Structure 1
Amino acid sequence: MKFASRMAAATAILVASALPALAAGQLNIFNFGLYTPPDLIKKFEQTYDVKVTVTEYDSNESALAKIQAGGHGFDIIVPSAYIVPTYIENGLLMKSEPNQMSNFKNVKSEWVDVAWDKGRHYTVPYVWGTTGVMVNTKVYKGDLNTAAIIFDPPPELKGKINVVPSMNEVLDMAINYVGGEACTTDKAILKKAHDKLMEAKASWASIDYPSFEKFIKEDLNASIFWNGASSRIRAENPGFAFGLPKTGFLIWQDNVAILKDAKNVENAKLFLNFLMDPENAAMVSNYTRYGNSITGSEAKMDPNLLKAPELTIPADLKSAGHFQTACPPDVQQIYTRIWTDLTK
């Protein structure tokens, strides 16, 4: 779901130009920004003689709005788990039966019968990760595994903190921090979270999807962030480290599906099956720096990625993790009111 996936503006890009003038077909992919490996697209194009266009978006919500508006021309969408039921309930996804595709046998068992798509009738797994806190340890010497970095920041971080504009992730972390559970209806907890957010905002520099460069150059020193994006930044500035708040953190998965009104259905099905090949899943992980759900992909993954601390949930923190889900509509309305107040 994530920074690498969200920081780019929604622009159409044509990936890989070394194609025959007359391709066997086309495929139009709608994905988060900086989330589609160019080498993967080139390989697919050359394997199937298909011309691929990738258009980028910055959030699940903006992508959904675009699809609901119609007339988009996309074949493939990459929604996070929590929003997949909304796509299905609104008849926006094709029941393409990935569970009957030849490479489905490679999907790890724990990612087959998932809550958002029981038995995988609509989606295939893309990558999975966690939402935590990234901080510059050259500036901050305290506990990494605390959301206090964001919500009760020490003086050395004030004015150089970013919060990603991802409403549910930020609110869930804040609610966990003040002692509640995600999607709570407890008004006292929700008010406490609201007040904590408003208090903390005075210490933040931005609510944004900033460029990696702002962290690498240390214009920003802390953020609510995603583990894969944190790994990419640490590769450029080893002072940065990633922590998972003991009070609670999110685990998520992004998925790939065919849109109900896709024009290039057979090519889209080829792409879903292609993603479940271990070598191709490894290409996605190596580029995005997130884990995947495909058996055998580890053999082709970057050894440094397999050892990356960002991809490991410490045993003593596993109980603090919870999978991201959509809140009921009445709770989502409260979230929206809090978020509107925070972002004024």
Structure 2
Amino acid sequence: MKFRRTPLALSLLAGLALAGQAQAEGTLHFANWSDYYPPELLKKFEKDTGIHATLDAYDSNETLLAKLKAGGGSYDVVVPSDSFIEIFVKEGLLQKLDKSQLPNAANLKEKFRTLSYDPGHDYTMPYLWGTTGYSYDSAQVPGGRLEESWKPFFEPPADLKGKVVALNSMDDLWPPATYLAGVDECTEDPKQAEKVLDLLLKQKPMLAMYNSDGTIERMAAGEVSMHQQWNGAFHRAHAQRASLVYVYPKEGIRLFIDNFAIPKDAANVKEAHAFINWMLLPENIAAASNFAKYNNAIEGSEKFMEKELFDDPAINTPADKLDRLKAFQLCSPKSMALRAKVWTKLKK
């Protein structure tokens, strides 16, 4: 999509207001998950910096990986998830960040300053974070209430056949399937992987589809009864349909962190750093949180965020559910290869 480019004189004035925010003229090609970044915020970035920006979308980490492997020179900033960072780095698809161009990294909250998948933030800076659970429509499920478990999702009631949707990514499906099957998420044992595959194959005939797009619209319209869903997407759907319920399964629920990164072949590296640094300002990242309905990693952003986000237990995890949150685990190449085989068999 195209946006108006602000004259240099105005961008210089904006720079004074931003207390030292570096000014630059140029172009930025930004790619992010579908419906995960407010277009008006990109216009503000253009106004503040004088950099012309475009926004492209993709629907999964796998899609982004394929795009970058095919030639990622068309993107300057992308947003991969924590679980894919090691893969992108090992494939040589990301370049190291120049920390001297990212002074606003000082705004990171303490718990986000060292992350297992990129301890020194050599390749990434946090964007938004949340949980991957599932939601259901209490007006459509038997008895109006389901057990707080992954069991109703992977083994749904018979009358929900064709009314359940799973996300179209092994990155999202594998962890909860291992939780319910009692299998180590990072298992290297083919027999244990077979247990996970059996669970997924049993679920498959009950599904309407595997789809990571349209989760908000599908649940808000009542098109399906149950949907694997990110908590921010649930919040947006729930605002349109009050009968929706977000589940924190007792077996565990996956935490995720999405991250800004610069592809190895990016053409506009200076502009990419300027954009990431700009997004590390509290007011700017808060605008993204308010749009996408996910939390962020920046100190001071709370005062710019909508109060309703903190009032929703799907966003602000209740104290009695905190022990159900499971952080990303960095699994061995052997384990990841086994997971890929399961996904291939599932999608045949």
The answer to whether TM tops 0.5 is yes
Aligned residue for 2:322, secondary structure, equals: helix
1:328 maps to which of 326, 332, 340: 332
**Separation in 2, partners of 1:301, 1:128:** 14
1:131 is displaced (CA, Å) by 0.6
- AA in 1 matched with 2:205: A
Check whether the contact 1:132–1:250 (CA below 8 A) recurs between aligned residues: yes
Instruction: Name the SS for the 2:206 alignment partner.
Output: coil
Q: Deviations over 1:264-309 (max 9, x none)?
A: 1221111111111000010010011101000110100011112111
Q: Is the 8 A contact 1:127 1:293 kept in 2?
A: yes
What is the total number of aligned residue pairs between the two structures?
Answer: 331
Measured in 1, the distance between the counterparts of 2:71 and 2:217 equals: 35
Matches within 5 A, 1:138-157: 138-140=139-141, 141-143=144-146, 145-157=148-160
Moved more, 161-170 or 208-217: 208-217
1:106-125 to 2 correspondences below 5 Å: 106-125=107-126
- Classify the secondary structure of the residue corresponding to 1:225: strand
Which of 204, 221, 224 is the aligned partner of 1:201? 204
Deviates more, 1:318-327 or 1:289-298: 318-327
Q: SS at the partner of 1:263? A: coil
Q: Which residue does the alignment assign to 1:311? A: 315
**Counterpart amino acid of residue 226 in structure 2:** A
Q: Hey, what's the Cα distance between the residues in 2 that align with 1:275 and 1:210?
A: 25
Distance 1:192 1:276, change over 3 A: same
Question: 1:284 and 1:99, CA in 2 relative to 1: closer, same or farther beyond 3 A?
Answer: farther
Q: Are 2:133 and 2:249, in contact at CA under 8 Å, matched by a contact in 1? A: yes
Residue 17 in structure 1 maps to residue 33 in structure 2: no
For the residue of structure 2 that corresponds to 1:246, the secondary structure is: coil
Alignment partner, residue 228 of structure 1 = 232
Question: What's the counterpart of residue 300 of structure 1?
Answer: 304
Contact preservation (8 Å) 2:129, 2:256: yes
Deviates more, 1:35-44 or 1:141-150: 141-150
Does the CA contact (< 8 Å) of 1:133 and 1:225 recur in 2? yes
When residues 221 and 60 of structure 1 are mapped into structure 2, their CA distance, relative to the original with a 3 A threshold, is same
How far off its partner does 1:188 sit? 3.7
How has the CA–CA distance of structure 1 residues 98 and 228 changed in structure 2, closer, same or farther, with 3 Å as cutoff?
farther
Structure 2 unaligned spans of 5+: 10-23
Read off the aligned partner of 2:283 and give its amino acid letter: E
- 8 A Cα contact 1:144 1:244, kept in partner: no
Larger deviation: 84-93 or 239-248?
A: 84-93
Contact 2:73 2:266 in 1 (8 A): no
Q: Which residue of 2 aligns with 1:48?
A: 49
Cross-structure match for 2:131: 130
The question of whether the paired residues in 2 share the 8 Å contact of 1:99 and 1:120 is answered with no
Percent identical across equivalent pairs? 34
Question: TM-score normalised to the size of structure 2?
Answer: 0.89
| 2:17 aligned residue | none
Q: CA RMSD of the aligned region, Å?
A: 2.1
3-state SS, counterpart of residue 77 of structure 1: coil
What is the distance in 1 between the residues matched to 2:275 and 2:106? 16
AA partner of residue 195 (structure 1): D
Matches within 5 A, 1:52-131: 52-70=53-71, 72-98=73-99, 101-131=102-132
CA 1:21–1:282: 2 relative to 1, 3 Å = closer
Structure 2: distance between partners of 1:21 and 1:273: 20
- Structure 2 SS opposite 1:96: coil
Q: 1:145 to 1:98 in 2, by over 3 A?
A: farther
1:95-121 deviation digits (Å, cap 9, x = unpaired): 223476321221001101111222222
Normalised by the length of structure 1, the TM-score is 0.90
Distance in 1 (alpha carbons) for counterparts of 2:231 and 2:98: 30
Contact kept, 8 Å, 2:73 with 2:263, in 1: the verdict is: no
Partner of 2:195: 192
* Deviations 1:69-103 (CA, angstroms, capped at 9, x unpaired): 22632111111112112222333222223476321
Question: For 2:186 and 2:343, how far apart are their aligned partners in 1?
Answer: 14
The one-letter code matched in structure 1 to 2:270 is E
Is 1:260 the counterpart of 2:258? The answer is no
Tell me, yes or no, if the aligned pair for 1:281 and 1:292 is still in contact at 8 Å: yes
The answer on whether the counterparts of 1:99 and 1:119 sit within 8 Å (CA) in structure 2 is: no
Aligned to 1:218: 222
1:168 aligned residue: 171
SS state at 1:266 partner: helix
Q: Distance in 2 between matches of 1:19 and 1:156?
A: 56
Q: Report whether the alignment pairs 1:32 with 2:33.
A: yes
Q: 2-side partners of 1:336 and 1:94: how far apart? A: 25
Q: Structure 1: any 5+ residue segments left out of the alignment?
A: 1-12
Q: CA deviation at 1:127?
A: 0.3
The answer to whether the 8 A contact 2:133-2:228 is kept is yes
Q: Which moved more, 1:101-110 or 1:257-266?
A: 257-266
Report the 3-state secondary structure (helix = DSSP H, G, I; strand = E; otherwise coil) of the residue aligned with 2:85. Answer: helix
Alpha carbons of structure 1 residues 160 and 71: separation in structure 2 relative to 1, 3 Å: closer
